[in-house]
Amino acid sequence: MRILVAALLGSCALLLAFGHEAASARPGSTQAADPVLGTWRVTSGGSGTFVIVANTGTDYYRMTATTPLTILCAHAATGDTIGITYRAGSFSKPKGQYVGAVTNNGTDCQETINFSLSGDTISGHDIGTGKTNETFTFVRAGSTTPPPSGKLTIRWAMQNRFGVDRNGDHLIDYLTTKQQIDPPGYTVDVLLSAGGGCPSGNAVFAVGGKRVPSAAAPGVACGYFVEFPKQGKQKLTVELAGPSGTAKGATDVEVRDFLIAGLGDSNGSGEGSPDIPGTSPTWEHLRCDRSANSFEAQAALLVSRRDPAKASVTFVHLACSGASMPKGLLGPYPGINDPGGPPLASQLSQLAELKGKRELDALLLSIGVNDIDFSPLVSFCLAQDACMNQPYPNASSKETLSAATAHKLAALPGLYARLNDRLAALHIPAGRVYITEYPDSTHDARGAFCNPLISVPGKGTFDQAEAAWAFQHVLTPLNKAVAAAAGKFHWHLLSGVGQAFAAHGYCSSDPWIVGLTESLANEGTTYGTLHANAVGQRSVAALLYRQLAPALFPGGKPRQP
C-alpha cells in the first residue's frame, strides 16, 4: 500500500485534511463539482455541543456551540477557506452551503472556522440531542452542492512480496512455504476516490462478477487490500454504500507477480556477505550461509523495483554454500553448516515442491566451481609451493593438482547435461535459465596478478605464479565450460563478470572480493574468503538485471503469464 500511496499522493493529500489549495476558492465562487473532503455523521452530544466522527472511526472532530467551527487535527492553514454543506432536514436552517475562513491555526491539531451565518445560526439549534442521523459534508468553498456520489475512481497497485521487512527483524522477509509461493490469490492495493476526495461508506469488491475478500488498509483513508483469485487481466468492480447513496466504480486490473528462483553454490547464496555481519552473523538461512545480499537476491530486488505498482516479485532463494551439481543441486546435501540429521533435499526438488503449479519466470543459477573442488584447491595451494605441480590431494597421489583439476573440468559438460535433463523434466523452459560466470579474484587494480594472492602466517602463501596458474588453468576454463553449457542448452549466459572484477581482485586497492580478515570479522569463519563482497554482489546483480529487464518487461510493460 505504501507504493500506491506514494504513486497517488496527489489524490490522497485531501482525504482528511483541508489543504492550502482551498485558499484559492472564495465565498461566492461559481466553481463546480469541488471535491468532497469528507463526510461525518453526528453520533453523540447534547445541547450546544456535538462530536462528528470521520468514516475511519478513529478521527474525531468537534463543532462548538458558538458560531466558529473548531476542527481538531484537520491541518488547515490560516487564510484557507472551506465550506460545510448541510444535507439533513431537521434544522430550521435551509439546506445549502455555509462558507467560513480559517482564522486561528495556533496548534497542529486545532483550527477554528468562523462561519458568518445571516439570520439563523447553527449554534441556535439543539444539535446532537436525539438527532444522531444528521449528516454534514465538508467541501471546498465555492461549491453549492457536494459532487455526485454515483461514480468512484479506482486506482490500484500490486502489493510488495519481496524486499520488505514487515516483522522488523532487519532482514528482508523471505517466502519459504508452498502456500506463500503458490498462493490461492494475490493481494492488490486499491484506493478509492470520488471527485478527488475520500468517500465514506462500506465498500464491497467483486472480480469478474464474483465478490472477493477485502480489508481496509490500516492508516490509509479509502485504501483497501483486495484479493484476486489469479493473475492476468480481470475486471474489478466496487459498490460503496454511504450517507448520500451508493457509489459504483469499475476498472481493469492486470495482476502480475513474477516467480524468480535463485539456485546454486556459495556464489549464489551470498557467502561472505551475511545479512547482519559479525562473529556470530545473521543469515536468511544459516545452514546454507544464504543472504539477501547475494547477487541473485539483489537482482530479484531490482526487478521488484522496476514497476512496483504493476508487477510484484516472488523470490525463492535456495542456493547453498558448498553445493555442487551432484550434491546440492541434483541430489541431497547437508549444507555448509551441517547440524546433523537428514540432509537437505536437492534444490531442484525443493523448487518443484514450493512452486506448485506456478510457471517460473526466471531461474538464476551459479554452479560448477565446487564440481572442480575449488575450496580444497585453495587450501592446498596455501600449504604447498608451486602447488600446481605437486601430487594431489596428497603425496601418494599419482597425478598433480594441475592434472586432477583438468580431469574435473573435463567432467563438467556431462554434469551440465544432467542438469539440463532435470530442468526439462520439471518443465522449466531453457529460455528462462540464467547462468552466471564466476568473478576473477586474481588481479590487482592495475590488472597484474596479485603478488601474493593470499598469505596466511603459519599456513602458507598462495603466490603470484600460483595465482596466474589459477586464472589461466582454473577460472578461465571453468567460465568457458559455463559458456559452452549455456550455448548448447540455450540458457542465458551472464558474461562479463570476470571482466568486471578484473581490477577489483583480492589484492586490489578497490577490492570487490572478501579477504580472509574480512571474512573472520563478518561471519566468524574463513568461508567467505575469495567470494564477492557486497559491492561485488551488487555489481553482478546489475549485470544480471540488464538481461532480466527486457525479458520480463518487453516494451517496458510486465510480461503477462
List pLDDT tens digits, range 164-191.
Answer: 998 999 999 999 999 999 999 999 999 9
User: Within 13 Å of residue 214, how many CA atoms lie on the same side as its CB?
Assistant: 25
Q: What residues contact residue 219 under an 8 Å CB cut-off, 6+ apart?
A: none
> Residue 484 and residue 389: Cα distance in Å, rounded?
28
> Residue 453 and residue 507: Cα distance in Å, rounded?
7
> Residue 265 and residue 269: Cα distance in Å, rounded?
6
Do residues 16 and 38 lie in contact, with contact meaning Cβ atoms separated by under 8 Å? Answer: yes
Burial class (CB in 10 A: 0-12, 13-18, 19+), 348: buried
Helix (H, G, I), strand (E, B) or coil at 361: coil
> Residue 109 and residue 73: Cα distance in Å, rounded?
4
Q: What residues contact residue 411 under an 8 Å CB cut-off, 6+ apart?
A: 371
> CB atoms < 10 A from the CB of 376, how many?
13
> Residue 367 and residue 391: Cα distance in Å, rounded?
27
Q: What is the pLDDT of residues 492-536, one digit of tens each?
A: 999 999 999 999 999 999 999 999 999 999 999 999 999 999 999
Confidence of residue 404 (pLDDT cuts 50, 70, 90): very high
Beta bridge partners of 234: 253
User: Within 13 Å of residue 276, how many CA atoms lie on the same side as its CB?
Assistant: 10
| 215-219: long-range pairs with CB below 8 Å, 24+ | 217/1, 217/189
b/e burial code for range 10-31 (CB count within 10 A of at least 16 → b) = ebbebbbbbeeebbebeeebee
Confidence of residue 202 (pLDDT cuts 50, 70, 90): confident
Task: Report all structural domains of the chain as residue ranges with CATH numbers, in order of start.
Answer: 19-137 (no CATH), 153-254 (2.60.40), 258-372+406-450+464-556 (3.40.50.1110)
469 membership: H or E segment, kind and range: helix 464-470
Whether the pLDDT of residue 298 is over 70: the answer is yes
Whether the pLDDT of residue 75 is over 60: the answer is no
Q: Which three cell numbers stand for residue 47?
A: 445541547
User: Which residue is associated with the grid cell 447513496?
Assistant: 245
Pairing of strands 202-207, 232-242: antiparallel
Q: Which three cell numbers stand for residue 291?
A: 543472504
Confidence of residue 462 (pLDDT cuts 50, 70, 90): very high
Confidence of residue 235 (pLDDT cuts 50, 70, 90): very high
Q: Which three cell numbers stand for residue 173?
A: 522477509
> Residue 516 and residue 526: Cα distance in Å, rounded?
6
Q: What is the DSSP letter of 432?
A: G
Confidence of residue 133 (pLDDT cuts 50, 70, 90): very low
Q: Which three cell numbers stand for residue 287?
A: 545452514
Q: What is the pTM of this model?
A: 0.76
Helix (H, G, I), strand (E, B) or coil at 300: helix
> Residue 208 and residue 307: Cα distance in Å, rounded?
25
Q: What is the C-alpha end-to-end distance of the chain, expressed in Å?
A: 23
Q: Which three cell numbers stand for residue 154?
A: 479506482
> Residue 441 and residue 507: Cα distance in Å, rounded?
8
pLDDT at position 139:
36
Q: Which three cell numbers stand for residue 62?
A: 468537534
User: Which residue is associated with the grid cell 546489475?
Assistant: 542
> Residue 67 and residue 64: Cα distance in Å, rounded?
7
pLDDT at position 16:
23
Higher pLDDT, 353 or 243: 353
DSSP string, 500-560: HTTTSSTT-SS--B--HHHHHHHHSSSTTTTSB-HHHHHHHHHHHHHHHHHHHSGGGSPPP
Percentage of residues in the chain with pLDDT exceeding 90? 68
> Residue 362 and residue 345: Cα distance in Å, rounded?
21
